[in-house]
Every structure is written in structure tokens, then in C-alpha cells.
Chains A and B, each alone.
Chain A
Amino acid sequence: MANAKLLQGNEACVFGALAAGVRFFAGYPITPSTEIANIFARELPKLGGKFMQMEDEIASMGAVIGASCTGVKAITATSGPGFSLKQENIGFAAEAEIPCVIIDVMRYGPSTGLPTKSSQGDFMQARWGTHGDHAIIVIAPYTAREAYRETGRAVNMSERYRIPVIILMDEILGHLRERVEFKEEDVVTVVDRKGPAPGVPYLPFEDTDDLIPPFAGFGDGYRYHITGLIHDKTGFPTNDPETINQVMRRMNGKLDRYRDEIVKVKYVDVDDADILIIAFGSVARAAEEVVRSMKKAGKRVGLLRPVTLWPFPDKEIRKAASGKKAVIVPEMNLGQMVREVERAVAGEAPIYPLNKIDGELITPHEISDLIKEIL
């Protein structure tokens, strides 16, 4: 990739995924994620990869999992209604530990909602959209440059941990075109899932020390069973309470074990700040502007921007927020992340939500007005 490019957020996701080795996409047309499918359709055949437009959102999630079962890196993209439809199969991927990445370009909802307008209403759905306890990782980029890098990282994490990863975009970021200058740190390295060790019997859901069972692709000479039923280390269904406990705790335990590798948080002027803003995605761009303008006006405002939304960066937020005069949580929904912030901060600072749900981006003015009110 050339050093400087004019890139759209949606487009950047595609190139990040391809750089990480994605060679299969299945999807269904939906606004505002459409460009992702369009560009995969154009780019994948050039690389010998495959693009499929499926009959519906559910089928595209199923096809992605099927492709991944053969060892091919696979991805899909959607928006609110489609994300809802995909949830059952996302749960399958979580239970069967099949690597895959789902890009959700958020629109406002519920239901058909505002297809061409932005929102951050899927913050909770991304974590808890499918039923039952499950491991899942959610990443929220805030620029096209970061969309490229973080989609690459999402693919790599999914391959490494055997956990589905959600890229939570929003309509503004998805459709925004900006100049991107790629630097050394933007290079996406390729991480492959760990394969079976030679010379030992293969246990597809083995309780390994690293909690991540080795993966054998269909057709690679290991015949085994994959199911969405709760299964033992051999992959077959079990009703044995002890086994259920052990297997489900291992699967969910991966998030705790690798938490510090997964969680990424960015800080702007946080240490000296009197006021801390916590924001992600497009809203964090407005918040960055507030930090800059307030600094000029002699006011000390900082920004903590979670790049990883789930697992939620509890300890980073608590540390940064403790003792601040105020913590402001602007988000384009009626207050989803703020609940997590309240839990993480646990009374160590007063918290002010700022919610906007009209499809428009929260402006720097709206944030600075609230800050002025507080000060």
C-alpha cells in the first residue's frame, strides 16, 4: 500500500482484512456497509479469494463459518438489522471457536431505524447480541487509518484466540473519506491459527495450557466433529456437569488470560486533565477537537479513547478517571457505554453522560458546552 492515500473508512476495513490474509467474504447488501461488499467483490478474485453474495444475512454468517472451518480466513460486513439476524450464527462461532470477523457499520435503530444515519446503538449488542455466556472481542476504530490497522488486528486476534471479533464502525466513519498516511506501525502482519502438533492424537477442543485448542482445517486429514452443542474436548456433545463447567470456563477464560493483549486504549492529555472525556469511534474525533480547543483556552481536558470496547477497559478507565473533577461520556445512543464507565469508575469521579440520538454526530460544541456548565 502506498504511503499516502485517500481512503474511506469502509474501504480501509477491506484492505486491512486483505493484508491480514482474508480470502473469503460472504455478505448481503445493507446500508451503510455496502462499500465493504462492493470492494471485496472487486478485490478478492484478483488475489484468488472468493466473494459470495448470499441469500440473506443469516446465510452469509453461516458461509463465513463454513469457509473458516476449512482454514480460510473469512469475514462479513453488515449493519444493525443484519447484525441482529447474524447473532445466532455468531453464537455458533463463539461456541465452536471458529475464527471469523464481523464488521458492523452502525446505523440508528431499533428495526430499520435510520439506514443512512450514524449511531453507536450497537455497543451492547456487539457484546451480548447472541444468547448465553460467550467470548467475543469488539474493536472500534475512529479514523480510516485505524480502520485499516484494526481490521487487520481483528483478523489476527480471531485467528490467534479462536474468538469471533466484531469491528464496530459507524456510518460517519464508514463513509468518511480522508487522507491516510501509512507509517511503519500500520503494517499488518499475518497471524495464522495454531495447527495440531504432529505425532500426538488430535483433540479439537483440547484443554491446552494456553486455553486455545489447536485448529485443523476440514480436509487436512483430521476428521473431527464441530457442533454448537456444548461439547467436550473431543468435540462431541456432553451433558456432564463437570465437563460443561470446565469447557465453558476455558472458552470464556481466554478473554481474561489475554485481556492485556486484546485491550487497547489511547490517551490524549489525560494525566494533567481536570476533566476526562471517554469516547469511541466518530465521537472521539469530536472529543479530540474539544481537548485541543480547551487547551488553547487554558482548560485542562483529556480524552481516553477505548479502541477495544470489549473486553471493556475497566482498569485503565478507573485509573485515568480517579480523582477527576468530571468524567464525560458522550455517545450516540441513550447511554450504553456510560453504564460500563460507571461500573469501572465505581464512584471515584462524578460521571456525566451526553447522549445524542438524532442521527447526527455529537459536535465539539456540544461537548464543550457541557464542560463549561460543569466548570
Chain B
Amino acid sequence: MDATHKKYLRMNKLPHIWCPGCGDGTIMGSFIRAIDRLGYDKDDVAAVSGIGCSGRITGYLDFNTLHTTHGRALAFATGVKMAKPRLKVFVFMGDGDATAIGGNHLIHSCRRNIDITAIIFNNNIYGMTGGQYSPTTPRDKYATTAPYGTTDPHFDIAKLCIGAGASYVARGTSYHAKMLTDLIVAGAEHKGFSVIEIITHCPVNFGRRNELETPVDMLLWQKDHAVRMAKAEKMTADELADRFIIGELHKADIPEYVEEYDRLIERVQRGDTGRG
């Protein structure tokens, strides 16, 4: 391991608990390189996570780290950011964490446009509990709670977040690791609520049950099904049917929540209630 990675890891907490072939380690690597490029002081970074495999990332990262309750990472992170705005706040969630139990916090964080970067590990499954289907598991896939195939339609996380008002939404994969670093950097530099959805892979609890026998098969699936924005714009709906777009999907310049509240404080302290 090189010095850059070592600098941001709690080396005495390694090896990590993730299974061989898991995408989570790749994402952690991309994140570390993003922080290094951003040049943030480690003391000024708060990393907040939920429950599940992705939630364990905060244990390995050498920042101010908060491993919260299932689905609630964004709620805790909102308190952190509001109370100490100078902290750079990153939130790590899984697909079940972010869109099932924590779905309400996700859409409202988007709406508020609070300056937090949310990184969602979307591996289409509840991995830690043994492979139950999640709100992002596609139809007709197999899971321990879908032994005959899933019948539920699934969420498109990026679309959901754009619809809910997030001001920066991007999608990457654990295959396109360099691009992922770029997206995390751009998300962090964006003022407002940024969502980076990462299509990643759970070989043990998703791939094995769904004809993607090895981690390599799963990575190749990502490579073959991901389409960059510029290319997608030239493709027909039919051609895009079973593919997904990667890159920056949405960016808007709208007022950020903490700054707006600070302006309110300043105004109230001047005696201006805003009622003219």
C-alpha cells in the first residue's frame, strides 16, 4: 500500500471485514484519492455512515467518524453539519440503508440542499444480513427473500435524488475507479447536497445467485452496461434499455441550507424579522 492510502487509513483496523472480491474496498480507495486531491485536513473531515457492509467504512478512515443507526446517517450528518459548518461532511450508505429504511432522510436532504456529499454503495442487495432483495434489486432477480425471483419494481437512485431536489447528482461504478474519484471530488467541491450513486457488486450475496459467478464477471457486467453521458446522448431509448448512464447527471446552482440559515441568524440578530 502506498503512502497516500496509508495516510488516510487507520492501519491498525485492517484487514477490513469485506468479502474477497467486494466492491467496497475499491470505493474506499477512490474516496481516499479524492480526499487527497481535495487537500482537506483530516481533522476537518467528518465521515458518517449507516448500517450494513458500507457502514463499516467509517471504522477504517482516519477522520472524525460516526457509525450511526440503520438508515439514519443523513439525519446525524445534518446535525453535524449544522452545528459545525466548517466540517466537510461525507455520508456513506448502502442501497437498503439510503432508499428503504432511510428513504425519507435521503429525499429531504436533497430538498434541503445541505452541503453534504452522500456516497451511496448500490450493490442491489442487503449483503450483511445474507442477501435479501432491496429497493434497487431489479425485477426477476434472486435473493434469499426472493427464492422465486423478485416481483418489486426498483428505484433509480439518481433519478429519485434529482426529482427530490439534490443540486449535484452523479453515478459511477466500482469498475470505473478513476472516474469515481473525479465524481467524488466534483461532488465535494459542489456547494449543496451532492449524491454519488455507485453501482457496485456483491459477489457473495447477489452475483452468485444471479448468474454472475465471480467478482470479475460482475465488474465486466458493469463495464459492459455503463454508458458515459456523452455517448448516451447519441443512443436511442431502445439501445439504452438495459444500460445505465455514468458521469455527472445533474448540477444546479441553488441556495445552500446552512448558508441560508446563517443569513437568517444574521438578519434576526439585526432585528430584521423578514416581515418588512
Contacts and interface: CB of A to CB of B under 8 A. Distances in A.
Interface of A: 24, 26, 45-46, 48, 50, 52, 54-56, 58-72, 74, 88-89, 92, 217-221, 223-229, 236-237
Contacts of B74: 59
B43 A66 contact: no
Summarize B's interface: helix, strand, loop or mixed.
Answer: helix
Of B44, B64, B84, B268, the most chain A CB neighbours within 10 A belong to B64
Interface string B34-76: 0000000011101010000000001100111111110010111
Given A226-B66, A237-B59, A219 B75 contact: no
Nearest to B269: A46
B50 to A, nearest CB: 10
A223 B83 contact: no
B80 A227 contact: no
Contacts of B69: 62, 88-89, 92, 228
A225 B67 contact: yes
Given A45-B264, A59-B104, A218 B79 contact: no
B72 A59 contact: yes
Nearest to B261: A50
Contacts of B84: 70-72, 217-219
A45 B83 contact: no
B264 to A, nearest CB: 6
**Would you list the 9 A-B pairs with minimal beta carbon distance, nearest first?**
A66-B79, A62-B75, A63-B79, A67-B83, A67-B79, A55-B108, A227-B67, A59-B75, A66-B76
B43 A223 contact: yes
B78 A66 contact: yes
Interface of chain A, helix or strand or loop or mixed? mixed
24 contacts: A54-B108, A55-B104, A58-B72, A59-B78, A59-B105, A60-B75, A62-B76, A63-B76, A63-B78, A65-B76, A66-B48, A66-B82, A69-B64, A70-B80, A70-B84, A71-B84, A72-B83, A74-B79, A89-B72, A218-B46, A218-B87, A225-B65, A225-B67, A236-B13
A50 B105 CA distance: 19
Nearest to A46: B268
Nearest to A61: B75
B95 to A, nearest CB: 19
Nearest to A92: B69
A226 B66 CA distance: 5
A320 to B, nearest CB: 41
A26 B108 CA distance: 14
Interface residues of B, number: 39
A227 B60 CA distance: 13
Interface of B: 13, 42-44, 46, 48, 58-59, 62-69, 72, 74-84, 86-87, 104-105, 107-108, 261, 264-265, 268-269
A62 B108 CA distance: 14
A291 B84 CA distance: 51
A70 B83 CA distance: 7
Contacts of B64: 69, 218-219, 223-224
B78 A52 contact: yes
B35 to A, nearest CB: 13
Contacts of B87: 70, 218-219
A70 B69 CA distance: 18
Contacts of A229: 67
Nearest to A229: B67
A97 to B, nearest CB: 13
A319 to B, nearest CB: 41
A58 B79 CA distance: 12
Contacts of A45: 264-265, 268-269
A67 B82 contact: yes
Given A218-B64, A219-B43, A219-B46, 9 more contacts: A45-B269, A50-B265, A58-B75, A65-B79, A70-B84, A71-B83, A219-B44, A219-B87, A223-B43
Contacts of B59: 225, 227, 236-237
Nearest to A91: B69
B67 to A, nearest CB: 4
Contacts of A64: 79
A45 B267 CA distance: 9
Nearest to A54: B75
A68 B82 CA distance: 11
A219 B68 CA distance: 18
Contacts of A63: 75-76, 78-79, 82
A92 B68 contact: yes
Nearest to A43: B268
B65 A226 contact: yes
A88 B102 CA distance: 14
Pick the most buried of A59, A65, A221: most chain B CB atoms within 10 A of its CB. Answer: A59
Nearest to B106: A55
B68 A62 contact: yes
Contacts of B58: 225, 227
A195 B190 CA distance: 34
